[in-house]
Structure 1
Amino acid sequence: MADQSRFMLVVPPLMHNSPAFDRAAALAKASQAALHIVAFDYLEGLATAGMVNEQALDQMRLGYVERHRQWLEDQARPMRKIGVHVTTEVVWVERPLQEILIHLKEQPMAALIKALEHESLLSRLMFTPLDIHLLRECPVPLHFVSHMHHALPRKIVAAVDPFHSDDQYKGFNDRILCEASKLAITCNAQLDVVYAHDLSSISADEFGFSNGSAFFSSSKAKTLFDAQADAFRELAQRNGIEPECQHMILGDPAKVLCNYAQAYETDVIVMGRAGHRAMERLVGSTIERVLYKMPCSVWVVQE
């Protein structure tokens, strides 16, 4: 994370403090980085208020934006006292996604930090939340803060999946472990690596088996398991992960990762987000499920 010197903290339009402020300040101080706090304001009631004239409505909007800017300055003051260089910004915009992406293009950031906004399943089915849009489109590491145990993470878990027949995954797990290792070093935190493997999700013919029943009724299942274990150990050793910090667990990845994080009081889980070609498999089947159920914060590394 030392190759870039700024973090961006995105906060909601309502003036409400959240653990994301403390996490952003702690990470910025630990990595000797600057912090830019930005609020993308838009209040439906204020935006459509029936006023006598447009000038009065504009004054109300400007007044709210200024109050929010002053509020952000109040939150930034204690951060500056501990040595973090903090800048603040408030932007009035109805749909913040494009503005966030423009900001990231114009002002390169080490990571984007944001409090996770918990949405109901029905809401997510009807409307795609901003967090999911960011998960799919954010070009920099993305840190969703939720259920925070410590401002500066003490226990970090990297989730990897090293066993694929598709060449597009080559090197991706190494990047996940590289980001996780840099984060752990910055925070002086413990780093463990988990490979949650689920044989039920593997297509038999993908690995040369004529049918699933033959696969599971033969020694080929053990052969595949051993191959997965070898790939995992090689990946971990290549990235300097000690054997006692390597954990290969059988089961549904989302359930395994949530249970592991709960059992070991994990502060942050680092996961990979694949490109659009594999979006349905990796985001739809694992990251989105983990994002809203994980009992800790999530750090997402883009492919």
Structure 2
Amino acid sequence: MIKYQRILVVVDPVAEAQPALHRAVAVAALEEKAAITLFLPIYDFSYEMTSMLSSEERDEMREGVVQGRTEWLQTLLTPYQDSSIHFDVKVVWHNRPFEAIIQQVQEGAHDLVVKSTHKHALIQSFIFTPTDWHLLRKSPCPVLLVKERDWPMGGKVLAALNCCSDDQAQEALNHKIIAESKEVARLLSSRLHLVNAYPITPVNMALELPDFDPHAYNAAVKKQHERALYEYAVRFDLEPGELHLHEGLAEEVIPQCADNIDASLVILGSVGRTGFSAALLGNTAEHVIDKLKCDVLVLRPDPVQA
């Protein structure tokens, strides 16, 4: 089963090191006939607003900037000139980076986007949604957000599920996460672990219902999630010792579990919440990413067939 053959690397224009490129090369080396496109959207507002230049002169200046950055991208490929991987570079003039990236994904039929990430300040994340958060919500293909840690062969891959949901779309996403995670773990000769968080007993229920037994309720919820997680393990031929079920919020449980097992990669799904609900609630994937010390591969649900 061949996974990622047309990889799009989003280049950081201000960073000296490009961990996303390094990681993309490692992924491409696991495949046959893989191709990597280095992609850089750039924009300078001053070129658009100056009245000293004619439109033709502004076009020439933009073309000069694009050419200069294209040549810079070529220098990033020097360490890989003996590689069998096919490389392309592309620089576009666009004032909304995430739109340029998604457009390139669609035009280039890419099956993976690789981008380095960093911790976002909470207030900045709330007011100005970062490019990688836009990608999590809108990218039509998986997004690999890269931090500084390497992927050791024979390490551990942690797949995060949302069990016991009545939503068929969530169940389909769980299946996709496990299937994709198994393939990635196989390519990396790694062990696949599953993690699921089950909810804490609501305090208001214990206060409002005199006969409510929180311990019995908690035990029943845990048992339900245990059964669902075990069924996934049986269906996908996973070992019981690689299942992790913990009480709490997913954004707390997943990073803690990743630390406990020393995972080199976490794979999870994103429902891609947008608009007002995203501003108020965010997505679990977005809350998790900032707390992880390792890379994270984010999968979107498959499009609904008409």
User: 8 Å contact 1:13–1:42 — kept in the other structure?
Assistant: no
Instruction: Spell out the pairing of 1:57-206 with structure 2 (5 A cutoff).
Output: 57-150=58-151, 154-200=155-201
TM-score, normalised relative to structure 1:
0.86
For residues 50 and 73 of structure 1, the distance between their equivalents in structure 2, rounded to whole angstroms, comes to 33
Instruction: Give unpaired runs (5+ residues) of structure 1.
Output: none
Structure 1 position 227 matched with structure 2 position 224: yes
Aligned partner letter, 1:119: H
Percent of aligned pairs with the same amino acid: 26
The CA RMSD over aligned residues, in Å, is 3.0
**The one of 272, 294, 297 aligned to 2:292:** 294
8 Å CA contact retained: 1:140, 1:302: yes
Which digits, 9 at most, give the CA deviation of each residue in 1:149-188, with x for residues without a partner?
3387832110111111333322221110111111111222
Conserved 8 A contact 1:4-1:108: no
The whole-number CA distance in structure 2 between the counterparts of 1:39 and 1:105 is 16
C-alpha distance in 2 between matches for 1:52 and 1:189: 57
**8 A Cα contact 1:23 1:152, kept in partner:** no
How many Å apart are 1:99 and its aligned residue?
A: 2.2
Q: Which residue of 2 aligns with 1:2?
A: 2
How far off its partner does 1:5 sit? 2.2
Q: Do 2:157 and 2:191's aligned partners in 1 also have CA atoms closer than 8 Å?
A: yes
Cα–Cα, structure 1 residues 179 and 80, in superposed 2: closer, same or farther, change >3 Å?
farther
Residues 93-146 of structure 1: CA distance to partner in whole angstroms, max 9, x if unpaired? 111222222222222122111111433111111112211111110011111111
2:9 aligned partner, one-letter code: L
Report the Cα offset of residue 19 of structure 1: 1.1
1:245 equivalent in structure 2: 242
Letter in 2 for 1:288: E
Within the candidate set 248, 257, 262, 2:259 is matched to 262
- 1:39-84: CA deviations, max 9, x gaps? 1111345555674555554443322222211121121232241321
Q: Is the 8 A contact 2:177 2:268 kept in 1?
A: yes
Change (3 A) 1:188 1:216: same
Query: Equivalent residue of 2:114, what SS?
Result: strand
Deviates more, 1:165-174 or 1:91-100: 165-174
Deviation per residue, 1:238-258 (Å, 9 max, x gap): 112112211112222111211
- Please state whether the residue corresponding to 1:26 is helix, strand or coil: helix
Q: What is the match of residue 40 of structure 1?
A: 41
Relative to structure 2, which stretch is displaced further, 155-164 or 10-19?
Answer: 10-19
Distance, in Å, in 2 between the alignment partners of 1:49 and 1:217 is 67
Shift of the 261–46 alpha-carbon distance from structure 1 to 2, 3 Å rule, reads farther
91-100 or 37-46: bigger deviation: 37-46
Decide whether aligned partners of structure 1 residues 174 and 213 sit closer, same or farther in structure 2, where only a CA change above 3 A counts: farther
Aligned equivalents of 1:231 and 1:55: distance in 2?
63
Q: Which moved more, 1:117-126 or 1:29-38?
A: 117-126
> CA 1:201 to 1:102, structure 2 compared with 1: closer, same or farther past 3 Å?
farther
Residue aligning to 1:22? 22
Find the aligned partners of 2:3 and 2:255 in 1 and give their Cα distance. 31
Q: Distance in 2 between matches of 1:60 and 1:290?
A: 41
Within 2, Cα distance between the matches of 1:25 and 1:213?
Answer: 60
Give the number of equivalent residue pairs.
298
Q: Which runs of 5+ in 2 are unaligned?
A: 302-306
Is residue 109–residue 140 contact of structure 1 (8 Å, CA) maintained in 2?
yes
CA deviation map 1:271-296 (0-9, x unaligned): 01125499759x72521111222111
- The answer to which of 98-107 and 18-27 deviates more is 98-107
Amino acid at match of 1:286: T
